[in-house]
């Protein structure tokens, strides 16, 4: 329930709409109460009372207000008798017309106020979901890259979509009932207590039995729902992996295997959903049966008071009104019970969402972080250590990159090259040591300022499902079309862009699927050119390209690196022969460094890697 209260805390941003919804719900219940209160006693008075009764009613007008059934009944009798006695011939018909008009007026007011309650509650409900989605997305943007390495992307997507939708259609839908039905139940119970305190006390004694039964089923429902939502996350992950790896699946002929894997996960999910729906659908019949059972007990107990107990003040008309009022409790009580079940079902999704919102795995920024507007001198890695999942992957690395230099990191896969590069823009934080720009620890700087000084071109070009122009200007949204085109020319991309249908307005597809690897790479380079950062990280930027594409990309990179400080990672050592300094890494340590020629002369790991590629 703590998660539910956290969700309801978002309602605080919509206090006016919430207050109006509560007020109109309260008025709706009151008008409904009056419409029922008018019905039975008045009709009984009209059709069964004699002239002598009307005379007696006129003479017994209550003078002192009292909140009990006798005062209410005597007051209604007095005013109705007054109408009837003013016109003995047509009085009863006039009273009947008045009753009908009064009842329909109260019903009209009840439904008008009920609609207004829903009107304002819609603002609250959708506003809360709007805020929740924004909170989740903002949180995802703030989480470090390491978080997404440990979580399944499909499961995160399921929490952002399916779980949020589940919360909307269970908890937030139930919010309507929770805002309305408790008022109905409480006010009707108060009215019942006024009519007959002893009968109502008897009802309240047996109500906890219903609550206990409902609570037991609801607790079981939450566990089943939680398991179901977890398996929905597995389904989304499997779909996402299948679509992303469809080429490999087809190439290895594993369609049947993947299909069976999906069917198995889907079957498990179906089983949980069937169990969950069976438990949820049990709510309505159980609550209805319990409500009818209690009403039968009331009829028995109330009838006994009238027929047997001579000291009871309960009259037949009052008892009929009591039963009519109690029947009005059954519907909101039933709806409220369903709402409780839905909240239990939705709270499982809320827990999954909360795991994202409560995650403290974020890169911290100091409260009074320093601004970084320019890069003037050098970058220093000093005795750097970094651990991932309790495994140390970088061991005591020291290196210096002076402004304007091109420094390369080489080594076998898993040696720590990409990790070392990712530490500079603080995609991860070091475990020990110090990384400084112009002598200032990067942890002292504003993260946004730090990353504004760095451009990144990776092996896997990240493009968005948007136009070529918008992909190039990503991060530089104020750029003009002329500036975008100049950046594309530097990246050797302008020529092929103009050949696309629509040119710079061509949509590249999801992840740039409509473009070749070299084309995507050059658009990524154009993005870095347009951003114009003083520091570049080129992480294996050409390792996935064919020879012709690599040549075009390499020319673009050479233009990009002019007058910039570059940190280059490449498996193809031929691309870094002109680097000012090359650091050779193995198992998270620097084992050698120097220029290309110096490293070849030493006959170490670098020469071995270079000769292997040369012969290949």
- Band of pLDDT at residue 173, cut at 50, 70 and 90: low
Query: What mean pLDDT is predicted for residues 254-258?
Result: 79
475 falls within a domain: yes
Strand runs labelled E in 351-477: 378-388, 391-402, 406-410, 432-437, 440-441, 454-458
Q: pLDDT higher for 60 or 580?
A: 580
Are 583 and 534 in a shared domain? Answer: yes
Q: pLDDT higher for 418 or 280?
A: 418
CATH code at position 168: 1.20.1560.10
Are 197 and 219 in a shared domain? Answer: yes
596 falls within a domain: yes
Query: What mean pLDDT is predicted for residues 438-452?
Result: 90
Contact 570, 601 (CB under 8 A): no
Are 392 and 454 in a shared domain? Answer: yes
**What's residue 469's pLDDT?**
92
Are 273 and 308 in a shared domain? Answer: yes
* Maximum C-alpha span of the chain: 127
Which candidate, 146, 303, 284, 155, places its Cα nearest to that of 230?
155
Are 526 and 558 in a shared domain? Answer: yes
164 falls within a domain: yes
- Band of pLDDT at residue 206, cut at 50, 70 and 90: low
122 falls within a domain: yes
Are 491 and 421 in a shared domain? Answer: yes
Are 102 and 47 in a shared domain? Answer: yes
Tens of pLDDT, residues 333-382: 767 776 776 777 677 777 888 888 887 766 788 888 899 989 999 999 99
The yes-or-no verdict on residue 44 having pLDDT over 70 is no
Q: Is 242 helix (H, G, I), strand (E, B) or coil?
A: helix
The yes-or-no verdict on residue 17 having pLDDT over 60 is yes
**Could you give the number of structural domains in the chain?**
3
Are 502 and 534 in a shared domain? Answer: yes
Tens of pLDDT, residues 412-442: 888 888 889 889 988 888 889 999 999 999 9
- Band of pLDDT at residue 198, cut at 50, 70 and 90: confident
Greatest mean pLDDT range, 107-116, 135-144, 228-237, 406-415: 107-116
Query: What mean pLDDT is predicted for residues 508-520?
Result: 85
The domain boundary, picked from 86, 111, 142, lies at: 142
- Band of pLDDT at residue 411, cut at 50, 70 and 90: confident
Tens of pLDDT, residues 492-501: 889 899 999 9
- Band of pLDDT at residue 385, cut at 50, 70 and 90: very high
Which stretches of 143-196 are DSSP H helices? 145-150, 153-158, 164-167, 173-195
Give 290-309 as a DSSP string: HHHHHHHHHHHHHHHHHHT-
The yes-or-no verdict on residue 176 having pLDDT over 70 is no
Which candidate, 249, 275, 274, 252, places its Cα nearest to that of 262?
249
CATH code at position 516: 3.40.50.300
Query: What mean pLDDT is predicted for residues 92-119?
Result: 87
Q: Are strands 535-539 and 454-458 parallel, antiparallel or unpaired?
A: parallel
Give 192-212 as a DSSP string: HHHH-HHHHHHHHHHHHHHHH
Domain that holds residue 100: 16-142
Contact 325, 190 (CB under 8 A): no
Tens of pLDDT, residues 454-488: 888 877 778 888 899 999 988 887 889 999 999 89
- Band of pLDDT at residue 503, cut at 50, 70 and 90: very high
4 falls within a domain: no
Which candidate, 279, 359, 292, places its Cα nearest to that of 330?
292
Are 524 and 580 in a shared domain? Answer: yes
Strand runs labelled E in 248-329: none
Are 210 and 258 in a shared domain? Answer: yes
Q: Which two tokens stand for residue 606?
A: 């670098």
Are 179 and 235 in a shared domain? Answer: yes
Are 357 and 383 in a shared domain? Answer: no
Q: How far apart are CA 178 and CA 170, in angstroms?
A: 12
1 falls within a domain: no
**What's residue 380's pLDDT?**
94
Which candidate, 229, 25, 1, places its Cα nearest to that of 124?
25
- Band of pLDDT at residue 172, cut at 50, 70 and 90: low
Contact 116, 20 (CB under 8 A): yes
The domain boundary, picked from 362, 387, 405, lies at: 362
The domain boundary, picked from 119, 142, 165, lies at: 142
Contact 585, 409 (CB under 8 A): yes
Query: What mean pLDDT is predicted for residues 38-60?
Result: 66
518 falls within a domain: yes
Tens of pLDDT, residues 208-255: 666 666 666 666 666 777 777 777 777 877 877 777 676 667 666 777
Query: What mean pLDDT is predicted for residues 75-81?
Result: 75
517 falls within a domain: yes
Query: What mean pLDDT is predicted for residues 578-607?
Result: 89
């Amino acid at each position: 329930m703590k998660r539910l209260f956290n969700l309801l805390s978002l309602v605080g941003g919509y206090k006016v709409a919430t207050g109006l919804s509560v007020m109109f719900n309260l008025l709706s219940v009151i008008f409904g109460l009056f419409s029922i209160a008018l019905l039975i006693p008045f009709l009984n008075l009209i059709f069964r009372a004699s002239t002598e009764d009307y005379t007696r009613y006129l003479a017994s007008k209550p003078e002192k207000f009292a909140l009990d059934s006798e005062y209410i009944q005597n007051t209604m009798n007095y005013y109705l008798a007054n109408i009837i006695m003013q016109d003995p011939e047509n009085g009863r018909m006039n009273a009947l017309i008045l009753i009908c008009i009064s009842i329909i007026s109260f019903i009209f007011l009840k439904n008008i106020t009920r609609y207004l309650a829903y009107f304002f509650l819609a603002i609250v409900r959708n506003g809360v979901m709007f805020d929740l989605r924004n909170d989740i997305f903002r949180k995802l943007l703030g989480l470090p890259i390491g978080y997404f390495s440990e979580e399944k992307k499909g499961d995160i997507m399921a929490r952002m979509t399916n779980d949020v939708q589940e919360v909307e259609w269970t908890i937030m839908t139930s919010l309507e009932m929770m805002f309305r039905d408790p008022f109905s139940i409480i006010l009707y119970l108060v009215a019942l207590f006024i009519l007959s305190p002893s009968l109502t006390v008897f009802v309240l004694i047996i109500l906890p039995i219903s609550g206990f039964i409902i609570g037991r089923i609801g607790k079981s429902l939450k566990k089943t729902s939680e398991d179901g939502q977890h398996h929905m996350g597995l389904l989304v992950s499997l779909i996402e992996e299948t679509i992303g790896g469809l080429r490999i699946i087809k190439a290895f002929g594993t369609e049947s295997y993947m299909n069976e894997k999906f069917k198995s996960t889907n079957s498990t999910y179906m089983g949980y959903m069937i169990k969950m729906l069976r438990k949820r659908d049990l709510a309505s019949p159980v609550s209805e049966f319990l409500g009818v059972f209690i009403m039968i007990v009331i009829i028995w107990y109330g009838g006994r008071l009238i027929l047997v107990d001579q000291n009871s003040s309960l009259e037949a008309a009052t008892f009929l009104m009591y039963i009519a009022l109690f029947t009005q409790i059954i519907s909101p009580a039933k709806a409220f019970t369903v709402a409780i079940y839905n909240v239990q079902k939705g709270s499982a999704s809320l827990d999954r969402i909360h795991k994202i919102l409560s995650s403290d795995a974020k890169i911290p920024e100091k409260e009074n972080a320093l601004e970084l507007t320019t890069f003037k001198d050098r970058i220093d890695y000093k005795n750097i250590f970094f651990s991932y999942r309790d495994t140390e992957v970088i061991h005591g690395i020291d290196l210096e990159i002076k402004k304007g230099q091109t420094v390369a990191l080489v080594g076998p896969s898993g040696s720590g090259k990409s990790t070392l590069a990712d530490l500079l823009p603080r995609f991860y934080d070091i475990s020990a040591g110090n990384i400084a720009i112009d002598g200032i620890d990067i942890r002292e700087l504003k993260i946004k300022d730090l990353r504004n000084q760095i451009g990144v071109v990776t092996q896997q070009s990240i493009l968005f499902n948007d136009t070529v122009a918008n992909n190039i200007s990503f991060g530089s949204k104020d750029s003009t079309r002329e500036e975008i085109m100049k950046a594309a020319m530097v990246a050797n991309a302008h020529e092929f862009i103009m050949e696309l249908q629509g040119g710079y307005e061509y949509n590249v597809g999801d992840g740039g699927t409509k473009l070749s690897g070299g084309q995507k790479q050059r658009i990524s380079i154009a993005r870095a050119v347009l951003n114009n950062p003083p520091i570049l990280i080129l992480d294996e930027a050409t390792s996935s390209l064919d020879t012709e594409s690599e040549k075009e990309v390499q020319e673009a990179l050479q233009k990009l690196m002019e007058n910039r400080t570059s940190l280059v990672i490449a498996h193809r050592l031929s691309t870094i022969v002109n680097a000012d300094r090359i650091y050779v890494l193995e198992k998270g340590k620097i084992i050698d460094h120097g220029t290309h020629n110096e490293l070849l002369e030493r006959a170490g790991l670098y020469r071995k890697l270079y000769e292997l590629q040369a012969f290949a």
